[in-house]
Structure 1
Amino acid sequence: MSTDNAGAGESGTMPRQPLPPAGGFTAEDIGRYDHVTRLPSRVQCLEQLAADLDGIAYSGRPRTLVLVTLAEAQHFNGILRALGHAFSEDFIRAGAQRVIECLDAGVTVYNVSVLSFAFVVDNDGRYPPEHTARSIATHFTDPVMVQDIPIQTAAGVGLVALDAGFTAPAEALRAALTAAQDSRSSHHPFSYYNPGSDAAQRRAFQLLTDLPEALEADDQFTLHFQPRVSFADRLSHSVEALIRWQHPRLGWISPAEFIPLVETTALIRPLTALVLETAIRRLSRWQDAGRDLGISVNVSPRNLTEPEFLGRLHGWLERYGVDPRRLELEFTEGAVSPDNARTLETLRQVRALGMTVAIDDFGSGYSNMAYLTRIPADVVKIDKSFVLDLDSGEQARFLVGKINNLAHGLGFRVVAEGIETATAYEFLEGIGCDEGQGFHLARPMPDDQLDAWLVR
Structure 2
Amino acid sequence: MNEEARLDALHQLNLLDTDPSEAFDRVTRMAAQLFDLPIAAVSLTDRDRQWFKSRVGVSHSSIPRHKAPCAQVAESSSLLVIPDLLADPCYRDSPLAQSGVRFYAGAPLITSDGYALGAMCVLGTEPRQASSSEFASLADLGAMVMAQIELQHAFGRVDPLSRMPNRIQFIEDLEDLARDQPERDLRLSTLVDLASPEQLSDVVRVMGASYLDELIAEAARLIRSAIGVERKAYHVGATQFAFLAPPGFSAIGYSALLAKRLKSLRKLSNSRFMASAVIGVAPFMLGWSHPRDVLRMAHSAAQDARRLENKVGIYSSTQDAAHQRRFTLINDFAEALRSTDQLRLVYQPRVDLSSGACVGAEALLRWKHPKLGEISPGEFVPVIEQTSMTKAATTWVIDAALKQILTWREAGLDLQVSVNVSAANLQEPDFADRVLDALARHSLTASCIELEVTETGVMADAVQALAVLEALAGAGIRLAIDDFGTGYSSLSYLQRLPAHVVKIDQSFVRDLATNERQRALILAMTSLSHDLGYRVVAEGVETKDVLALVEVAGCDEAQGYLFARPMTPQDFLAWCRESEFAPSSLKAPPLSEPSILDSF
TM-score, L = length of structure 2: 0.66
State the Cα deviation string for residues 69-102 of structure 1 (Å, max 9, x = none).
1111232133334444333322332333344443
Q: Distance in 2 between matches of 1:235 and 1:133?
A: 65
Deviation at 1:188, TM superposition (A): 5.0
Q: Please tell me the residue identity of whatever aligns with 2:196.
A: E
Equivalent position to 1:31, from 142, 156, 165: 156
- Indicate the residue corresponding to 1:20 in structure 2: none
Tell me which residue corresponds to 1:17: none
CA–CA separation in structure 2 for the residues paired with 1:423 and 1:137: 57
Partner of 2:577: 455
Cα pair distance change 1:98/1:331, threshold 3 Å: farther
Once residues 467 and 357 of structure 2 are traced to their aligned partners in structure 1, the CA distance between those partners, rounded to angstroms, is 34
The answer to whether the 8 Å contact 1:329/1:357 transfers is yes
Q: Which amino acid aligns with 1:229?
A: V
Task: Give distance in 1, aligned partners of 2:306 and 2:450.
Answer: 40
Q: 1:343 to 1:136 in 2, by over 3 A?
A: farther
The amino acid of 1:258's aligned partner reads F
SS in 1 for 2:564: coil
Q: Retained in 1: the 8 A contact 2:167–2:234?
A: yes
1:110 to 234, 240, 244: 234
Change beyond 3 A, Cα 1:161–1:339: closer
Going from structure 1 to structure 2, the CA distance change for 1:415 and 1:260 (only over 3 Å counts) comes to same
Q: Distance in 1 between matches of 2:311 and 2:220?
A: 17
* 1:58 and 2:183 matched: yes
**Pairing partner for 1:74 from 186, 194, 198:** 198
2:331 maps to amino acid: T
- Give a deviation string over 1:36-55, Cα, whole Å, max 9, x none: 21111112212332344456
Q: Structure 1's 118 and 306: CA in aligned 2 closer, same or farther, altered over 3 A? A: same
Question: What letter is aligned with 1:323?
Answer: T
Q: Aligned match of 2:391 in 269, 277, 285?
A: 269
- What pairs up with 1:137-156 in 2 under 5 angstroms? 137-139=262-264, 150-151=272-273, 154-156=276-278
Among residues 431, 456, 468, which one is paired with 1:334 in the alignment?
Answer: 456
Residue identity (%): 36
Letter in 1 for 2:173: Q
Q: What corresponds to 2:260 in structure 1?
A: 135
Report the counterpart of residue 12 of structure 1 in structure 2: none
The Cα shift of 1:280 comes to 1.6
Give 1:312-391 correspondences, 5 Å limit. Answer: 312-337=434-459, 340-366=462-488, 368-391=490-513
Give yes or no for contact 1:102–1:135 (8 Å, CA) kept in 2: no
Q: Distance in 2 between matches of 1:159 and 1:327?
A: 52
3-state SS in 2 of match to 1:389 = coil
Per-residue Cα deviation, 1:132-188 (whole angstroms, up to 9, x for no partner): 321354357679756xxx537622311112349943222222111111111124555
Rate the CA distance shift 1:327–1:135 in 2: closer, same or farther, 3 A. Answer: same
Post-superposition offset of 1:237: 0.8
The count of residues paired between Structure 1 and Structure 2 equals: 427
Distance (whole Å) between structure 1 residues aligned to residue 287 and residue 511 of structure 2: 47
Shift of 1:32: 0.9
Show CA shifts across 1:223-254 (max 9, x none).
11111111112221111111111111211111
**2:303 match: secondary structure:** helix
Residue 405 of structure 2 contacts residue 414 of structure 2 at CA under 8 Å; is this kept in 1?
no
* Deviation for aligned residue 1:197: 0.8
After superposition, the Cα gap between the structure-2 partners of 1:125 and 1:180, relative to the gap in structure 1 and judged at 3 Å, is closer
Q: Distance in 1 between matches of 2:268 and 2:387?
A: 30
Cα separation, partners in 2 of 1:275 and 1:87, compared to 1, 3 Å = same
| Letter paired with 1:349 | A
Shift of 1:67: 0.8
* In 2, Cα distance between equivalents of 1:108 and 1:331: 54
Whole-angstrom distance in 1 between the partners of 2:168 and 2:214: 23
- 2:354 maps to 232
Aligned partner of residue 227 in structure 2, secondary structure: coil
Amino acid at match of 1:35: P
State the alpha-carbon separation in 1 of the partners of residues 482 and 259 from structure 2: 43
Partners of 1:293 and 1:256 in 2: how far apart?
26
> Could you tell me whether the CA contact under 8 Å between 1:295 and 1:328 is conserved in 2?
yes
| Distance in structure 2 (CA, Å) of the matches to 1:132 and 1:124 | 14
SS of residue paired to 1:380: strand
Aligned to 1:90: 214
The reply on whether 1:399 has 2:521 as its aligned counterpart is yes
What RMSD over aligned residues (CA atoms) do the two structures have, in Å? 2.7
| CA pair 139-173 structure 1, distance change in 2 beyond 3 A | same
Equivalent-residue separation in structure 1 for 2:295 and 2:461 (angstroms): 45
CA contact (8 A) 2:408 2:573 kept: no
Are the aligned partners of 1:143 and 1:151 in contact in 2 as well (CA < 8 Å)? no
Distance 1:161 1:339 in 2: 43
Query: Where in structure 2 are there 5+ consecutive unaligned residues?
Result: 1-150, 579-600
Which range moved further: 248-257 or 48-57? 48-57
Amino acid at match of 1:42: R
Matches within 5 A, 1:163-174: 163=285, 166-174=288-296
Following TM superposition, by how much is the alpha carbon of 1:325 offset from its aligned partner in structure 2, in angstroms? 1.2
Write the distance in 1 (CA, Å) between the matches of 2:359 and 2:246: 68
- Show the counterpart of 2:563: 441
Tell me the distance in 2 between the aligned counterparts of 1:251 and 1:165. 34
Q: How far off its partner does 1:367 sit? A: 6.2
Report 1 or 2 for greater relative contact order, CA contacts < 8 Å, sequence distance ≥ 6.
1
- Which residue identity is paired with 2:549? F
Q: Is the 8 A contact 1:67 1:119 kept in 2?
A: yes
Question: Is the aligned partner of 1:40 residue 2:162?
Answer: no
Q: Tell me, what secondary structure is at the counterpart of 2:498? A: coil
3-state SS of 1:162 partner:
strand
Letter in 1 for 2:568: P
- Segments of 5+ residues of structure 1 without an aligned counterpart are 1-25
Q: More deviation in 371-380 or 312-321?
A: 371-380
Taking structure 1 as reference, are residues 98 and 385 closer, same or farther at Cα in structure 2, changes over 3 Å only? farther
Separation in 1 of the partners of 2:534 and 2:355? 19
Q: Secondary structure at the residue paired with 1:226?
A: strand
Higher mean displacement: 385-394 or 332-341 = 332-341
Distance 1:59 1:200 in 2: 28
Q: How far is 1:31 from its partner?
A: 2.0
Change (3 A) 1:141 1:401: farther
**2:182/2:287 contact within 8 Å kept:** no
Structure 2 counterpart of 1:193 = 315
1:209 lines up with 2:331 in the alignment: yes
CA change 1:187–1:418 in 2 (3 A) is farther
Structure-1 separation of matches of 2:423 and 2:489: 18
CA deviations 1:336-368 (Å, max 9, x no partner) are 129732221211111111111111111111164
